[in-house]
Every structure is written in structure tokens, then in C-alpha cells.
Amino acid sequence: MPTNLNALIRYKTINECLSTGRKCTIEDLMESCGEALGEYRGKYGPVSERTIREDIRVMRSDILGMNAPIVQKDGLYFYSDRSYHLLNVIFSGTDIIQKVIKLLNDLNLKSPEVDDIIRQLRTVMVRKAPAKPAERPEWYQEDIEFGLPPVQEFRTLDSLQAPRKTGVPKPAAPTWGDLFRVMLKSR
């Protein structure tokens, strides 16, 4: 888990650079990350080559579940899978969000802003929790036994309560995009 917000900003920036399909040098990534840190945190200054290389190593690995398909060829970095985008990568569970909440609580930063971030992270965890199967009423099984066609197949409580929306389905678990939206929201 990134130990600070700067790491999240760098991961997001590296992803933005590589997801456009262009090939970037390490210097391009260093410059982009330096600009992003200045924009988000007000800390203007260079980001070291070593830091960027370590970020790429972490993004490629399963340490944080990113498994980014970052390839380096002739000094240029790019995604080997052009459809990959970090914001769509689903956490295997809500573990990382729970760790972020624990980290924020452990830092003991008492402010309305930190309380708001923790509340939003908890909302993401609840909203993205897997839906529980709905229980079928007694008459459902009786109708089937008497040869009556079922009125409708029961899916989940969420699908019965919420109207269907067209478009790209929302992932069932939190994504890196959810974490970035909460942690890097505009100030």
C-alpha cells in the first residue's frame, strides 16, 4: 500500500501518461510526476529517477493488485495492453480501502477534511460490496411445483431495488479509480 499521498499521485500520473498509447521516456514520466505533485500538493520539484523506477516496479507487480502491463523497450515505457487503464482495475476485496482508512485513523489527523475522506471511503466500500442473493418467497417454489411459469427470476436485492441503467456496467468491487476520486479530490 502506498504510504503517502504522493505515491498515489505518481501512480495516477504514470497511468495517465501510458494509457494514452504514447511511449514515454523515464524523463517524461519524471517531469509529468513532478508537475502533478506540484498541482495536487503544492510541492514543486523534481521526482528522482529511482522513485519513478520503483513506482513502475510496484505498478507492474501484484503488491497492490495493479499488475500493470508496463513494458520498456529502447528506453521507452508503454502499456503492452492498450485497453489497460489503472482506474478500472478492481481490488480483489476492500482490503486496500480498509488499510487506507486505518492509516488515516492511525495518523490521528483530526480535521473535517480527513473525516470527510474516511466517510467517502466507507461509502465506496458499502456501495461496492457484493450484492446478496434475494430470498425467494414461499409461493415461488409452490408455483414451480404446480407447473406455473415463474413470474421472474430473482437475481439480487440490488437488481430488484434499483432501475436498470444502460451503458458500461459498474464493477462490483472498488476500483483504483474510486480510491483516486476520494483521495485526490480537488481542493
What is the model's pTM? 0.62
State the DSSP H helix or E strand holding residue 98, giving kind and residue range, or none if neither.
Answer: helix 95-106
Segment 150-156 long-range contacts (CB within 8 Å, at least 24 positions apart): 156/131, 156/132
The residues, any chain, with a CB within 8 Å of residue 40's CB and separated by 6 or more, are 5, 9, 184
Same domain, yes or no, for 15 and 42? yes
Residue ending a domain, among 59, 88, 117, is 88
Same domain, yes or no, for 118 and 105? yes
Same domain, yes or no, for 29 and 80? yes
Same domain, yes or no, for 37 and 81? yes
Same domain, yes or no, for 94 and 186? yes
State how far the alpha carbon of 26 is from the alpha carbons of 13, 18, 102, in Å: 13, 11, 33
The DSSP result for 25-45, as a single string, is -HHHHHHHHHHHHHHHHS--S
Our count of domains for the chain comes to 3
Same domain, yes or no, for 99 and 185? yes
Same domain, yes or no, for 12 and 104? no
Provide the residue range defining the domain that includes 143.
131-170
pLDDT single digits (tens) 15-33: 999 998 889 999 999 999 9
Same domain, yes or no, for 95 and 49? no
pLDDT single digits (tens) 69-107: 999 999 999 999 989 998 888 765 556 677 777 777 777
